[in-house]
Amino acid sequence: MVDKVIETNIVKVIGKVKTEMKFSHEMYGEGFYSFELEVPRLSDFADVLPITISERLFVNMDFSVGTYVVIDGQLRSYNRYINNSNKLMLTIFARDIYIPQEDEMEELMKKPNEIFIDGYICKQPVYRTTPFGREISDLLIAVNRPYNKSDYIPCISWGRNARFCEKLLIGDHIKVWGRIQSRNYQKKLSNGEAEVKVAYEVSVSKLEYVKDDNNRTKDYD
């Protein structure tokens, strides 16, 4: 039987280990560790993405800084209480990891960063344009997983997809394909200084509106 959760939240990333593994937490006697993975884009830029991995997945394996690895998993969210408020945190939860052979690398690096999610709009999309006229819509998608839990995944769409997303309503069912990106931004502090922060989101390359499973009373034109 196919695991429905894996069908609704699939991530595959290939990149270089950027930081040493550090202990994150323990659950039911199983230890989990975290590290950052540098994943190249088609441009010269690279995304630096957070990874969470069970200690049971890397027994007798060397994932030292600089090692290239392939990770299959899911993009998960959790809340962290910081400065008297809840902050949504994202991490790639590894289900499998391996060190690729040298002769695999060229083919693997053609698509080093892929994600598919199947979920529901849980916050009204925000449509905007950049100073250069580029159209953008910000989305928040809830993706169900077992034990009545959900992951809340921020997404960003562009151009005609952004115009389409502007019309979506809370509760609409959509499927999204894209890549996970990291983005630096500045947050102004109360003392007037600016602090550099990192945001993670799914950059949407394709989406599908599931019109037979939504809260609408009429279809799109």
Q: Dihedral of the CA atoms 11, 110, 97, 8 (nearest 10)?
A: 20
Same-domain check for residues 119 and 74 = no
Identify whether 221 is part of a domain: no
Same-domain check for residues 8 and 107 = yes
Low-confidence ranges of the chain (pLDDT < 70): 1-6, 82-83, 215-221
Same-domain check for residues 8 and 106 = yes
Same-domain check for residues 68 and 135 = no
Specify the DSSP element, H or E, that contains 163.
helix 159-165
CATH number at residue 154: 2.40.50.140
Q: CA-to-CA distance for 105 and 145, rounded, in angstroms? A: 32
Identify whether 158 is part of a domain: yes
Identify whether 13 is part of a domain: yes
Q: Quote the domain boundaries for residue 169.
A: 115-209
54 CA to centre of own chain: 18
Same-domain check for residues 27 and 107 = yes
Identify whether 130 is part of a domain: yes
Same-domain check for residues 102 and 137 = no
Q: CA-to-CA distance for 110 and 199, rounded, in angstroms? A: 25
Same-domain check for residues 33 and 61 = yes
Tens of pLDDT, residues 146-188: 888 999 999 999 999 999 999 999 999 999 999 999 998 877 7
Count how many residues are written for the chain: 221
For position 1, what pLDDT does the model report? Answer: 36
Radius of gyration of the chain measured on its C-alpha atoms:
18
Same-domain check for residues 107 and 136 = no
Identify whether 214 is part of a domain: no
Distances (CA, A) of 8 to 77, 146, 180, 200: 14, 12, 15, 19
Of 83, 111, 139, the last residue of a domain is 111
Instruction: Classify residue 160 by its DSSP letter.
Output: H
Q: CA-to-CA distance for 95 and 77, rounded, in angstroms? A: 15
Q: What are the contacts of 45-49 at 24+ separation with CB within 8 A?
A: 46/15, 47/113, 47/179, 47/180, 47/181, 47/182, 48/18, 48/182, 48/198, 49/13, 49/15, 49/92, 49/180, 49/182, 49/200
Split into its structural domains, the chain has a count of 2
Identify whether 219 is part of a domain: no
